Amino acid sequence: MENQQTKTKKSGNTRLLLRFLRGSKLLFVLSICCSALTTLVDMLNPQIIRGTIDNAIGGKASEFPAWVNGIVERMGGFAYIGQNLWIPAVAIACLGLLRVAAQFGTTMFNTSGSEVLVKNMRDTLFSHIERLPYAWHMKNSTGDIIQRCTTDVDRMRTFVAEQLTAVFRILILIGMSLYFMFSMNVKMALIATVPIPFILAYSIIFRKEMHQGFQNCDEEEGRVSSAVQENLTGVRVVRAFANEGRERERFEKLNEHYTGMWVHMGHVIGKFFSIQDILCGLQVLLVTVFGAVFAVKGQMTAGEYIAFVSYNGLLSFPIRRLGRMISEMAKAGVSMDRLAYVMNSETEKDRPGAIDADMTGDIHFENIHFGYEEGHEILKGVDFTVPHGTTLGILGSTGSGKSTLMLLLDKLYDIPEGGGRITVGDVDIRDIRTTHLRRNIAMVLQEPHLFSRSIADNISIAGDHMEMAEVEQAAHAACLTEAIEGFREGFDTFVGERGVTLSGGQKQRTAIARALTQNAPIMIFDDSLSAVDNQTDAKIRSSLEERFGTATIIIISHRITTLSRADQVIVLEDGRITEQGTPEELKSAGGIYQKIYEIQLGIQEGGADSE
């Protein structure tokens, strides 16, 4: 069973690699052809030297194939070449020039192919990650995802460009070297090949240990990357609590563990390469010693001995390289598994026959049961209706399920089977095309994410080729115009990463303006007015009523004044609706809404008295 799973996994990784290679395969094939030509040149040089020493100078009868002898005869024969040694010198020089040209082609095609491969891998990964469910992103840290898309991608590029393409040259080197060696002296060829099976077997045995070690190192690197990413994005929190020392200690502990793992791998790799070098050195020693003995005894000529040593040098390089390639394969195998994890993760998919339904109908949450973890429900039988064109306010304590309801409505999380359903105009949202649904739902979160672009770009991000007038109207409706006019660059003001250059209220208002540009029939404000003052809050709500009088608006807030103009309010507690009605009804119903209303009203009155 385990072997079958391993075979399936390897087959899937091979298909994924072939998918990544689209557009670069021809370049790698041309690189391999040029590399093969380089190898052929390397094989011919020792034969020219052998023929020059044994036949042209030594006068020995030719043992070359008939077609080689034919070429030599047309050039005047070995005797003529012996009198004109410039001929083999020119031949070697011409082969050298051919080798330079072939090596240039190998490098050029290989470099081009590797860059095309990396681009294709990055494009494919980014496109796939963008379509993965929101739940997947919540389970996988950003630092680890980035590490997979950078370090692992680069490692695969290195393996394909430097190792995989070299396999063909190595096989040609081994095959031709053994062919010429056996054709010259069978005994010496057998002596040269005796250590090879031991070297390869040793390398294969070590591969399993190295594969597990590299996998552990990669996973630990993901944790280190996540720690760095969290600290960089949360640098203001770290500074605000003077927590630099503790975070530094935490990072140093992770980094020390990560370094220790690589030190251990260094010992393993050092042991592997050292023993391999000893075995390869032993192979060279055997050929050198026995070759000298055979040459002294007259069992092989000086030219054959020199050629044999040359071929053994060419043979020993690919054998060493194969062993090292097994080590690199262990690294690449880990990286391929990590990339396959991303690519094999299921993307969001619509039900067969999903439609672009009318989004102007009533929204009905029917007996919703949902939990992020099995056995722990957040929502427990929530049931309510939001008539089209009305405003619903939602109040509740932290963890009561307010935001979860909106994530389900936007299909960022899927309702499990038997967990109820949500309908828009009597159409189950699972039967509505996801892209269509989200384009018709404008959502503003409490902590909005702004991109490292201008304010205008952040506002217009929801639409293509949006006119500046539309951007300005949305900014005015979100009460953002005055703040923008205070910036020297106006709408062209560059917003730092995650909106770091703006205040909390400015970020929220920018996100509100961005949502307003959608002109969506359903608008959700998830505690997105918490960072603005009461006066601005009132202006924004008035603007929404004027601009979107026919839209369905859902407002989640802890501020009673924000909910006071809603058509109806529901109060969530522990995943259940405990109160429901108009703001006027609830403020005297004796429940949570009334308590919060009295507390906040008392604070406001107290503040007014103190003035």
Maximum CA extent, the chain = 120
β-strand partners of 421: 366
Is-contact 307 300, C-beta < 8 A?
no
If you search the block for the tokens 């026959």, which residue do you land on? Answer: 353
65, 402, 463, 569 from 544: Cα distances, Å? 92, 21, 19, 18
- The dihedral of CA 198, 314, 306, 273: what is its sign? negative
Q: In sequence order, which ranges of 297-433 are alpha helices (DSSP H)? A: 302-343, 402-409
Could you tell me which of 450, 445, 405, 462 has the C-alpha nearest to residue 527? 445
Q: What is the pLDDT of residue 609?
A: 44
- pLDDT profile of the chain (611 residues), mean per 10: 53 83 89 86 78 74 70 79 82 90 91 91 92 88 84 86 76 76 79 76 70 76 77 70 79 86 81 76 80 80 76 70 68 84 90 90 93 85 92 88 91 90 92 91 82 85 79 84 85 76 80 84 82 69 68 87 88 92 89 88 52 39
Sheet harboring 427-428: ordered strands across? Answer: 379-386, 363-370, 421-424, 427-428
- Please tell me the predicted confidence (pLDDT) of residue 608: 44
pLDDT of residue 249: 85
Q: How far apart are CA 110 and CA 123, in angstroms?
A: 20
Q: Which domains does the chain have, with CATH numbers?
A: 13-343 (1.20.1560.10), 357-440+522-531+551-611 (3.40.50.300), 446-519 (3.40.50.300)
Q: How far apart are CA 133 and CA 130, in angstroms?
A: 8
pTM of the model as a whole: 0.71
> Measuring CA to CA, which residue among 217, 175, 139 is closest to residue 314?
175
Handedness of CA 222, 227, 228, 234 (dihedral sign): positive
Residue 381 in tokens: 């039988």
DSSP string, 31-89: HHHHHHHHHHHHHHHHHHHHIIIIIIIT-PPP-S-HHHHHHHHHTTHHHHHHH-THHHH
